[in-house]
Amino acid sequence: MSCLEHPLDYEPGGLHPVHIGDTFAEGRYEVIDKLGHGCSSTIWLARDLTTASYVSLKIIEADRSESSTELIVLKHLEATFDAEDEGSQHIVRMLDHFVHEGPNGSHLCIVQEFLGPSMTMKIEGNSAASKSRARRIAGQLLHAVDYLHKRGIAHGDLHTGNILLCIPASFSIDFGTPIRDTCGLPAKPSPHRPKYLVGPISERVPNKFIRSCMAKPHIKVCDFSESYMTGMTEPPPLASPHILRPPEGILGDLPHATLQTDIWGLAVVIFQILTNGGSLFSSLNDDYTLETIVLTLGKLPEPLWRSWSNREKFFDDDANPVLQVDSWSGLSGISSKTYLKETIGHWPVAKEEILALEAMLEAMLRYDAKSRCSLSDLVHCDWMVGYGHRRGGVDVVVATQTDMDRSISVQEGSRKKTKKSRRNKGKKGGK
């Protein structure tokens, strides 16, 4: 089965073995299903038996729990929460946190809102409605990152998998039975490993549920495990996908994410969202990413240009493309310069919008990191004012915990668990 964590990650100091029906925080949170996993955590759909609501439960591996900076960032976000700021509506909320002792060590556990699918899926269709949804999502994302930056937080990992859709109030969904898988697990049982792995719920989500979430999309940014915050003494190293990194993040020695790396990566993601999966730059490897950056934006400034050791395979000293030979086919050719205006020009919208978008992206994709346009200015740029802002205020009703409790059902074996079959049996867990 795809999308499963590696069984060898379950060892002392590693992931905590979790089974459907397990409880945490003195019985308060009951595991219902699997939402996914990251490089150092698993994320579960759980039921808060104290409030009778669904939540997301992130369990960090033991060796990373003590050094994790995610909780620091989330606490800061809660302490500085401002409901009047539009960006606050687009950042996931932390509900609780605690430490769980297990066979593999002490695990930091973070409880957050339960949200819908991520933006890794493409926006269906090329209609005016689909373009409107894409603009809406891009605008909300700009407000979300502006909200973070005003609090001194660089997200550090702004890919589409960390942009989640909220669940609308008018929905009803049955996620079915959690999929258990023993493939890859050693036959000999061990207290350090689960008896089975669980497939993520995303593999069983019906298309109608995704369409419901996308009808009037409302996004929230999640996962602050790679974030940097002003004053942080031991921030996590820069870990965003290289396709989202600026040249100084690929060639330089940046110790951590910055507001400026966020701005560059945000431009790449916005283009991806607006063009339904299109890419500004190549993701084949670092050299091809840098090649397409130079073809689109021009020659890199020094010392970055000289620090690119393979530049001579692609360009002469004046950044003119040179003849390349394909190692597989033996065919040769010269890459063409494709300027940002030409790349954006393929997007089938009015010329006025293309010009506004080009101006916004150019301001975000400047080689000089200090001159990149700040989010506080970007949220007032021509593209945002004309196309990215919501019109008429909030026009989508996001599901409350009560809505989800009424509308979600998950099956365990042959027994379906809903509000009627689960009562408040847990004790309140402390933070």
CA–CA dist 286, 290 (Å, integer): 6
- What amino acid occupies position 192? H
Does residue 416 have a pLDDT over 50?
A: no
Q: Is the dihedral of CA 30, 34, 35, 40 positive or negative?
A: positive
Instruction: Give the model's pLDDT for residue 380.
Output: 97
Query: What is the distance, to the nearest Å, from the Cα of residue 364 to the centroid of all Cα atoms in its chain?
Result: 20
Instruction: Give the model's pLDDT for residue 344.
Output: 78
Average pLDDT over residues 87-114: 98
Instruction: Give the model's pLDDT for residue 349.
Output: 86
- What amino acid occupies position 265? G
Model pLDDT for residues 300-334, shown as the tens digit of each residue: 999 999 999 999 999 999 999 987 645 444 444 55
Does residue 175 have a pLDDT over 90?
A: no
Average pLDDT over residues 49-61: 97
Does residue 203 have a pLDDT over 80?
A: yes
Local structure of 284: helix, strand or coil = coil
Q: Is the dihedral of CA 206, 208, 213, 217 positive or negative?
A: positive
Does residue 394 have a pLDDT over 50?
A: no
The residues that bridge with 143 in the sheet, in sequence order, are none
This prediction's pTM:
0.88
Residue 396 burial (C-beta neighbours within 10 Å; 0-12, 13-18, 19+): middle
Instruction: Give the model's pLDDT for residue 278.
Output: 87
CA–CA dist 255, 366 (Å, integer): 20
Residue-averaged pLDDT of the chain: 87
Does residue 343 have a pLDDT over 50?
A: yes
Instruction: Give the model's pLDDT for residue 308.
Output: 97
pLDDT level of residue 199 (50, 70, 90 thresholds): very high
Higher-pLDDT residue of 328 and 128 is 128
Instruction: Give the model's pLDDT for residue 347.
Output: 77
pLDDT level of residue 413 (50, 70, 90 thresholds): very low
Does residue 417 have a pLDDT over 60?
A: no
Higher-pLDDT residue of 34 and 345 is 34
Model pLDDT for residues 9-38, shown as the tens digit of each residue: 999 999 999 999 999 999 999 999 999 998
Q: How far is CA 99 from CA 38, 59, 96, in A?
A: 18, 9, 11
Model pLDDT for residues 253-303, shown as the tens digit of each residue: 899 999 999 999 999 999 999 988 888 999 899 999 999 999 999 999 999
Instruction: Give the model's pLDDT for residue 403.
Output: 60
